[in-house]
Amino acid sequence: MRLDNMLVAEGVAGPDKGAPLSGDASGGDQADYRQKLGQIRLVYNQELQKYEEACSEFTQHVMSLLKDQSRVRPISQKEIERMVSIIQKKFSGIQVQLKQSTCEAVMILRSRFLDARRKRRNFSKQATEVLNEYFYSHLSNPYPSEEAKEELARQCNITVSQVSNWFGNKRIRYKKNIAKAQEEANMYAAKKAAAHGLGGLPGANYGMLAGSSSMLNPYQGMLPGQDLSHMGMPPGFDLSAYNPQLMAQYQANLDSDK
């Protein structure tokens, strides 16, 4: 039963055995995978048909012999059924061997063409550009809908699952970069404060720090900025790029006080 279920799941056997194969691989791997799986399916069904024909012919031959012998000695129907059962059992063992060898061939094929995809692979330059363009153009909400994922998968010639994984990893990397930029900015400010004493940074050095923020975070202009001049910060110093959640909460508090 497990062999039958596997063959049906792979489209090798069952009612959908004549339908187009739906391989899990992508790009050139998909065409190659489908071609080789189609060859396995063809061989299996040809051998299975031969088995069924041979089983039927041999059963008819034995029944014919028993019928001829019944003219010489009495042969009951029960004895005939027992002989037919023995024949079918023998051929059933051959069928199981055929299914086992076919399942092994499918597993080897999947291991070669599908499991290899789990290893880290770089997308094509064009696919990466398409994905990055979407990510940065939707930076305020880099969570594409299912329709958008399907369209991106079509444009990049990859699967929807790969698109989802890419965006998940991209969001993580982006957040890590922002945290690193904030850490570097804090360290830079601390060094400047130590160099000029505990009285704080002079106004000229605030401009240097503001310029360094845009250099540390090249995507600053893509995030909603906040005017922090009333807090003593120079224009252009965008803390929301480092902690957008905190600044969103800060803005909400300001709005509620109005």
For residue 224, name the pLDDT band (cuts at 50, 70, 90): very low
For residue 23, name the pLDDT band (cuts at 50, 70, 90): very low
DSSP string of the chain?
A: -HHHHHHHHTTSSSTTTTSPP--S--THHHHHHHHHHHHHHHHHHHHHHHHHHHHHHHHHHHHHHHHHHTTTS---HHHHHHHHHHHHHHHHHHHHHHHHHHHHHHHHHHHHHTGGGGS--PPPHHHHHHHHHHHHHTTTS----HHHHHHHHHHHTS-HHHHHHHHHHHHHHHHHHHHHHHHHHHHHHHHHHHHT-TT---HHHHHHHHHHHHHH-TTGGGS-----GGGTPPTT--GGGT-HHHHHHHHHHHHHH-
Gyration radius of the chain's alpha carbons: 35
Over range 187-201, report the average pLDDT: 64
Percent of the chain with pLDDT strictly greater than 90: 10
Higher per-residue pLDDT: 255 or 72: 72
Q: How far apart are CA 153 and CA 150, in angstroms?
A: 5
Over range 5-10, report the average pLDDT: 79
For residue 70, name the pLDDT band (cuts at 50, 70, 90): confident
Q: Per the structure block, which two tokens stand in for 180?
A: 């690193």
For residue 74, name the pLDDT band (cuts at 50, 70, 90): confident
pLDDT of 108 above 50: yes
Over range 83-95, report the average pLDDT: 88
Predicted confidence at residue 119, as pLDDT, reads: 53
Predicted confidence at residue 154, as pLDDT, reads: 92
Highest mean predicted confidence (pLDDT) among 19-23, 98-102, 116-120, 178-182 = 98-102
Taking Cα atoms as reference points, which of 91, 158, 173, 153 lies closest to residue 122?
158
Percent of the chain with pLDDT strictly greater than 70: 63
Higher per-residue pLDDT: 133 or 210: 133
pLDDT of 237 above 90: no
Q: How far apart are CA 202 and CA 192, in angstroms?
A: 10
For residue 131, name the pLDDT band (cuts at 50, 70, 90): very high
Query: Are 105 and 97 within 8 A, CB to CB?
Result: no
Q: Per the structure block, which two tokens stand in for 60?
A: 């008819």
pLDDT of 200 above 70: no
Q: How far apart are CA 245 and CA 153, in angstroms?
A: 30
pLDDT of 51 above 90: no
